[in-house]
Structure 1
Amino acid sequence: VPARELLAGGKDYLEVELLAGEEGLDRPITHQRIQKPGLAMAGYADFIHPGRVQVLGSSELTYLEKMSSEERGDILGRICAHDLTCIAVTKGLDVPDELIELCNARSIPLFRSPLLSSTFIDRLNHYLDAHFAPRITRHGVMVDILGVGVLIQGDSGIGKSECALDLVVRGHRLVSDDVVEIQCRQGEILVAKGPDVMRDHLEVRGLGIINIAHLYGVGSTRVRKRLEMVVDLHFWDAKDDVERLGLDQEMT
């Protein structure tokens, strides 16, 4: 994730402004976790992770204020020597001139946000989790049925979209048709959504592509939903031995 994404996609969510280091906005954020370099300011900078967002709050800046300009420049110089991806200052605090000069000289993006450190870190973790989460794409239809996220799968032409339309007519909600992108959040939560260009649209044989939100109201669709159930549709074959009650446990 390039550092400029914090300005582009996350500007309103993170409420950040760029103070210095504009030339380094293409530096990549390679780690989801953030880092507060408090220990590095005390002289132990061996565990600075360059690919993480470095967050400076009131504790770090108050510590720097008690130093002379020469001492601040020396400490910040040792930290910035690790070729950092970017630095974020929280609570709208004043930024030392030495840090601004170093960030401009080394092309390290320096951001500032009015949010409290805890709020900023929580939002940043959530924002980066959405970007770093592993994802796959599946062919099917994603719907919200009484609050349960259901992915309907099956061969082409079996009637997945027709089932989804019938569910929407009965008051349920469409998430995505045809292409479903599934992300694994926090290592265990599956969240499904569709491409932005296809949002609210459903393709039904005989009708073409219809806009569900226009026909049934904005409450008939949603952007994303947690995936909790998968339904596979199969063409009927009398030869298949179907266990209808689900009493027999099968292992695959």
Structure 2
Amino acid sequence: MAEVTARDLMEEFDFKLLNDEDAVAFRPVSTSDISRPGIEMAGYFTYYPAKRIQLLGKTEMSFYDELDRETQVERMEGLCTYDTPAIILSRGLEAPESLKEAADRVGVPVLSSPITTTRLSSQLTTFLESRLAPMTAIHGVLIDIYGIGVMITGSSGVGKSETALDLVRRGHRLVADDSVEIRQEHDGILVGRAPDLIKHLLEIRGLGIINVMTLFGAGAVRNYKRIGLAIDLEIWDQKKQYDRLGLDEETIKIFDTHLPKITIPVRPGRNLAVIIEVAAMNFRLKRMGINAAEQFSERLNNVIEDGDKEEF
């Protein structure tokens, strides 16, 4: 899991730091949940979610202004703890002195944004869910084929990168080669991207490293893509029985998500780029409710049933 601090939020959203930078400790944000401490401003801190980012809007600050000076100081000291990663004021609101003093004592950064409270809460949640999502890396290639994120895996030397190059030449877009960083941003949603070091690069044995964006243009690459299908390339095994109808549906599990998987045997003479391209198109048809294998199976069963009736 990547580490996110208030400094990252300042860079991403152009937040303004309102208290003393020398006193601030940029602690990691551990959750994407955002807290609007309305009930805490009223004095109830029993279940205060101190580890969340605290978002103060017009409602909270209007209530704060009606409190007496002693109560204001008490409430701000309650909000600022050693676990609190940041306190953000929306709508460009000014931070009261009691908040700045309490925040400086425990090193909590107090930030300001001109964005409205609801919109800011939504943007922060989306950003944090993306950055804090669980992440893993898989050896393979990720290609955007007709809008489907296809992850190609297989043993070293089986031809993954060469197939990816052929697919790029056919108009599809490269996301990652050799290593695919995968994040589960929501339940059932896996997003893959390339590590910064090898972004837009392909390694072709005998040719070396090539820059796909330089050779084929910006339209030949993507920075990230949701993964919809996994294709595993394996050397053709004469003793193995491969699925010839497409009725067997395999999956691989990444985090809590079961990803559809197709195994394609590799041997000389097979055009892998075309096969994978068709596999992606067929996957799209299945999502639209059109399954050629099931339709064939139904026709076959009907023919068998009709033949049985004629015998009687």
Shift of 1:104: 1.4
Give CA deviations for 1:97-148 in whole Å, capped at 9, x if unaligned. Answer: 1111111122111111111111111111111112221111100000000110
Within 5 A, what are the aligned runs for 1:1-252? 5-8=5-8, 10-20=9-19, 22=21, 23-81=23-81, 83-248=83-248
1:116 maps to a residue whose letter is T
* Separation of aligned partners in 1, 2:49 and 2:65: 24
When Rg is computed on C-alpha atoms for both structures, the one with the higher figure is: 2
Shift of 1:78: 2.6
* Separation of aligned partners in 1, 2:225 and 2:65: 47
CA gap of 1:83–1:221, structure 2 versus 1, over 3 A, is closer
The TM-score, its normalising length taken from structure 2, stands at: 0.75
* Separation of aligned partners in 1, 2:20 and 2:152: 47
CA gap of 1:30–1:142, structure 2 versus 1, over 3 A, is same
RMSD: 2.0
* Separation of aligned partners in 2, 1:250 and 1:191: 20
Q: Which has the higher contact order (CA 8 A, sep 6+)?
A: 1
* Separation of aligned partners in 2, 1:247 and 1:115: 52
1:62 maps to a residue whose letter is S
Shift of 1:240: 1.7
2:189–2:226: 8 Å Cα contact kept in structure 1? yes
Q: Secondary structure at the match of 1:228?
A: strand
1:35 maps to a residue whose letter is S
Whose helix proportion is higher, 1 or 2?
2
2:87–2:108: 8 Å Cα contact kept in structure 1? yes
2:32–2:129: 8 Å Cα contact kept in structure 1? yes
Aligned residues: 250
Q: Secondary structure at the match of 1:239?
A: coil
CA gap of 1:48–1:2, structure 2 versus 1, over 3 A, is farther
* Separation of aligned partners in 2, 1:2 and 1:24: 17
1:14–1:120: 8 Å Cα contact kept in structure 2? no
Structure 1: gaps (5+ residues): none
2:6–2:109: 8 Å Cα contact kept in structure 1? no
Give CA deviations for 1:80-102 in whole Å, capped at 9, x if unaligned. Answer: 25752221111111211111111
CA gap of 1:178–1:81, structure 2 versus 1, over 3 A, is closer
CA gap of 1:13–1:216, structure 2 versus 1, over 3 A, is same
* Separation of aligned partners in 1, 2:209 and 2:74: 63
The TM-score, its normalising length taken from structure 1, stands at: 0.92
* Separation of aligned partners in 1, 2:249 and 2:93: 60
CA gap of 1:2–1:132, structure 2 versus 1, over 3 A, is closer
1:133–1:183: 8 Å Cα contact kept in structure 2? yes
* Separation of aligned partners in 1, 2:251 and 2:148: 25
1:14–1:123: 8 Å Cα contact kept in structure 2? no
* Separation of aligned partners in 2, 1:196 and 1:150: 20
Give CA deviations for 1:227-251 in whole Å, capped at 9, x if unaligned. Answer: 0000000111222211221135679
Give CA deviations for 1:39-88 in whole Å, capped at 9, x if unaligned. Answer: 01111111112211011000001111122333211221233257522211
1:30 maps to a residue whose letter is S
Q: Secondary structure at the match of 1:84?
A: coil
Give CA deviations for 1:185-239 in whole Å, capped at 9, x if unaligned. Answer: 1222100001011111000112110000000001100100000000000111222
1:163 maps to a residue whose letter is T
